[in-house]
Every structure is written in C-alpha cells, then in structure tokens.
A and B are shown apart, each in its own frame.
Chain A
Amino acid sequence: MIVLGIESSCDETAVALVKDKKEVLSSIVASQIDVHKEFGGVVPEVASRIHIENISYCIEAALKEAHCTMDDVDVVAVTKGPGLIGCLHVGVQAAKTLAFAYHKPLVPVHHLAAHIYANELVVDLKYPLLALVVSGGNTELVYMKDETSFEILGETQDDAIGEAYDKVARVLGLGYPGGPKIDKMAKEGNPVYELAKPKTQGRYDFSFSGLKSSVLQFTKRMERQGKTIDLNDLACSFQECALDEIFSRIHYALDDHPEIRHFVVGGGVSANSRLREKVEELRKEYPNITFTVPPMSCCTDNAGMIGVAGTIAYQSGRRADDSLTADASWEIQ
C-alpha cells in the first residue's frame, strides 16, 4: 500500500510517499527557516503564503522522485492539527483536492501521533509504549497501551522545551533557531550557574517558563553587578536544568509503569546531543526496555511520518470526507 502524506503545520511544507508503513519512497521538504530567521521566529501569515507557493511543487516532486503517478497512490493522508491554523489549511485543502480528483480515501492525521509513529521507519514498535515528544511547540509524555490509544501522562504547563531554547537564545543574542547553538555552546561549558528549578503540580508535567525567566534575571543581575558571564557555562547550566526536568519525569513514568516495553523519542529537539546521551544512560538502567531515538531525518517535521501515521490510521478504519477541516488544537488520536 502506498500512502501520500502531506504536512504543513508550521514552517515546513512537506510531501512524502510511504510504502507499506516502512519504506519512504520519496520525501520532499521545503523549509522556511531562512525566511523566518530574520524575524526571530515563525510569522504565520508569511508562513501560509509560502506554503501555498510550495505545495504543488512538493506534491509533483514527491511523485516524480518515487517514480509514481497518482494512480499508484492508495491513500492520501494529511496533518489535520495541531499547528498554525493558516498553515494547516493549505495542506488539508491540497489533500482534499487530490483525494477528490483521484477518488482516493482521505485520512486525517495528528501531528504529535505522527512524531511517535515515525519510529516505525527504523524499528517495530512494541506496546505498551512510552513516547517523549519534544519540539518547538510540544513537550509531552505519552503512554500508549496499544497502537491506537493515547494517554497524555504529562505535558508542559507553560512553554514548550524548544520554545524555551529559542527564547533563551534570543536573550543571549544567539539568533533563531536557538536549540543547536545552545547545544553546541553547552559542550564547551560547565553547569556552574544556579538557575531556578522548574516546579509543577502534576507528577509527569513539565514547566520551562520559570527556567527561562531565571536565565533572564540572572543575566540582568550580572549586568547590574558589572560581572561578565561565561555564555558557554550559562548555556550548559540551562540545558542541564531543562533536560533534568524531562528525564526525571521519564524516570517516574518508567518506574510507575513497569509494563512498558518500548521508549521512543520524537520531535525536533531529539536532535539535541545531550538528550541522546541521557537516553543512552537510561538504556543501561532499564535493560528490559527497548530505547529508540530515530535518526534526525525522522525527527524533524517531514511528511514521511504523516505517511506512516496515515497507514496506521487507514488500517484502523479512519476516513474523512470533503467536510474535513484543519483543527489548530486537535486532541491526540
């Protein structure tokens, strides 16, 4: 079965063809990151306009690269949400048009679920499963009893972790996106500065707003006192604090749910080198659990994951008709 997946929830316009859930025949991603760099973030109206400019080209290129025509495609899958509403509309409209014109089944997919399912491209998922999704818009710990049930154990109570990286990077004058730069600087530094430890009520919940403010207040205080800051040390202190928050919750979840057989990561922040190191430490600690951090090509926003998620959703019977619309705050399913 060949599924054509379309993703346009934020700053990537992406189309991919995925065969039998496991093989990416083609994956085209048109990124807008250079355009948004000058603004220090994504500008939604600009983003939707560029999606419209890119989408037809991406569909054509994905079919061509896979040596397929629409006749070879069995299902059209698309990200329905969550994301930027204007951007989501572009992908949904394109998918509806294709499905209608070529008489193909249309399957809506949840962006967060797709980040988890992306792991299918490198490993067979085993359930019950615990997934950590970390990106610019997401910080969630998701428990899956089986392939199609989702329980959000914990989520951020304020900023997403990628957002905290971006905002801290902005405070430190590092530019956008902030994650890779902070990660690189942290390697040259030590966690010597004391920052506010995040506080949350829920056992598995996250909070990064206080930590972000703490970095800001710290830089102001040092400025007032006329002291210089070692930016590498500050980057390292921030990163250690943020990741400690994430990994303490993972520990809780794994200890509370001894039936978990598989732990996977999804989302752009899984590119972080320190996060990958810490997953390796977990692997030693929990020898009975399989740990998967997929290669970066699966982690960032792409449409291969939409193809995979679309396959699973199609097989479980999910369909949409021409009344399908984007939903910016769609609940995971």
Chain B
Amino acid sequence: MKFEIHSIEETQNFAQKIARLCQGKTVLITLDGDLGAGKTTWTKAFGKALGVKNTINSPTFTILKSYKQADGKPLHHIDAYRLEGASQDLGFEDCFDEGITVIEWSHFIEDQLPEDHISIALEEGVDEDRTITLEATGKESQAILEGYHD
C-alpha cells in the first residue's frame, strides 16, 4: 500500500494507528528512509502510543535500546546505521522472541531478520511531504495489517 502524507502530525497519526494494531503482538517492523525522512518522529509517536514512558532517543550509539510498553512487554529499537559491512551474527534474535521491534536501516542486517514482518518506507518529498509504503511480508504481519484503514 502506498500513500502520501503532508505533515509531521500525519506521520504521528500513522504511527499511532500502527501501534494500535501491533499492541500485545510479537512483531518486527522495518522502518526505512533517508536521514531526515522522519524515522525518529515515527518511532517516538509509535512508542508513546504503546505506553512507553521513557524518552525514546537515537539508538545509533548503542545500536539497540529497549523500552517497556504499558503492558510490560518490551519495545526494542535497533539502528543498524553503523552495521554496514558487518556480517557476523549479532544476536538480535532474542529481540524477536517477545514484544515489538523497530529496526532502522534494516537492509544492513537483512539476512538476520525474520521473513515475516511489517515493512514501512518513508520517502522524502518537498518540505514535510512524505510517500509511505506499507507492506506485510508474511501471514502474521498480513493478519495484523488487515485492520489498517487509511
């Protein structure tokens, strides 16, 4: 599914909608887009909607930051920006066992991700315009996104 949004508020609304669908589920979301496309904005709104109390800020330095959702399950936030060229197994599978994981720059660790996940791409247009591509890549992610209405 492809659609356009035109403001930061719409990015936040979109994140909240996805959060409502993912709540309580075990799911991986890949979030791609260039520097400045709005990945941080999206993840902050997403985490807030899941009831994360702590400040969600960039995981670039530590690669992985974990938070607690309102229901006690974890929200993992991974930034693979600095993993370009790293081919070892980095042990992320622990993250995929419970709760929700959001990965930025996921193509750098593509071979280590579960096949069935939600894929979101933010493409930058003029000013705050963004083209969003939202896809499910398997049965479970498909079932979650079935409830999505633009």
- Whether B35 contacts A171 by the Cβ 8 Å rule is yes
- Whether B58 contacts A209 by the Cβ 8 Å rule is yes
Question: Which residues on the B side are within 8 Å of A209 (C-beta)?
Answer: 36, 40, 58
Stretch at the interface among A52-60, A122-130, A210-218: A210-218
* Central interface residue in A84, A136, A209, A216, by most chain B CB within 10 Å: A209
The residue in chain A whose Cβ has the minimal distance to the Cβ of B63 is A44
If A42-B82, A167-B35 touch, whether A159 touches B90 (CB-CB below 8 Å) is no
In the complex, A163→B58 CA distance in Å? 9
- How many chain B residues touch A (Cβ–Cβ < 8 Å)? 23
- Whether B61 contacts A328 by the Cβ 8 Å rule is no
In the complex, A330→B44 CA distance in Å? 20
Residue-by-residue, is A143-183 near B (CB-CB < 8 Å gives 1, otherwise 0)? 00000000000011111100100010001000000000000
In the complex, A45→B61 CA distance in Å? 13
Question: Which residues on the A side are within 8 Å of B62 (C-beta)?
Answer: 82-85, 137, 328-329
- How many chain A residues touch B (Cβ–Cβ < 8 Å)? 32
- Whether B36 contacts A159 by the Cβ 8 Å rule is no
- Whether B88 contacts A163 by the Cβ 8 Å rule is no
In the complex, A262→B57 CA distance in Å? 28
Question: Which residues on the A side are within 8 Å of B60 (C-beta)?
Answer: 41, 159-160, 163
Question: Which residues on the B side are within 8 Å of A214 (C-beta)?
Answer: 36
Question: Which residues on the A side are within 8 Å of B83 (C-beta)?
Answer: 43-44
A243 close to chain B: CB less than 8 A: no
| B82 interface neighbour in A41, A85, A158, A159, Cβ under 8 Å | A41
Question: Which residues on the A side are within 8 Å of B84 (C-beta)?
Answer: 39-40
If A213-B36, A216-B35 touch, whether A39 touches B82 (CB-CB below 8 Å) is yes
- Whether B55 contacts A155 by the Cβ 8 Å rule is yes
B86 close to chain A: CB less than 8 A: yes
B5 close to chain A: CB less than 8 A: no
A296 close to chain B: CB less than 8 A: no
- Whether A157 contacts B55 by the Cβ 8 Å rule is yes
Residue-by-residue, is B29-42 near A (CB-CB < 8 Å gives 1, otherwise 0)? 00000111000100
Question: Which residues on the A side are within 8 Å of B44 (C-beta)?
Answer: 157-158
- Whether B35 contacts A212 by the Cβ 8 Å rule is yes
* Central interface residue in B60, B61, B81, B86, by most chain A CB within 10 Å: B61
A46 close to chain B: CB less than 8 A: yes
B66 close to chain A: CB less than 8 A: yes
Q: How far in angstroms is the closest Cβ of chain B from A270?
A: 17
- Whether B57 contacts A46 by the Cβ 8 Å rule is no
If A43-B85, A45-B88, A212-B35 touch, whether A329 touches B63 (CB-CB below 8 Å) is no
Q: List the 5 closest pairs (A to B, CB-CB), nearest first.
A: A213-B36, A137-B61, A41-B82, A45-B88, A159-B58
7 A-B contact pairs sorted by A residue (CB < 8 Å): A43-B85, A43-B86, A44-B82, A83-B62, A157-B55, A159-B57, A216-B36
Known: A40-B84, A160-B60, A328-B62. 20 other contacts (CB 8 A): A39-B85, A41-B60, A42-B61, A43-B83, A44-B63, A44-B90, A45-B86, A46-B86, A82-B62, A137-B62, A155-B57, A156-B58, A158-B57, A159-B40, A160-B58, A163-B60, A167-B35, A209-B36, A328-B64, A328-B66
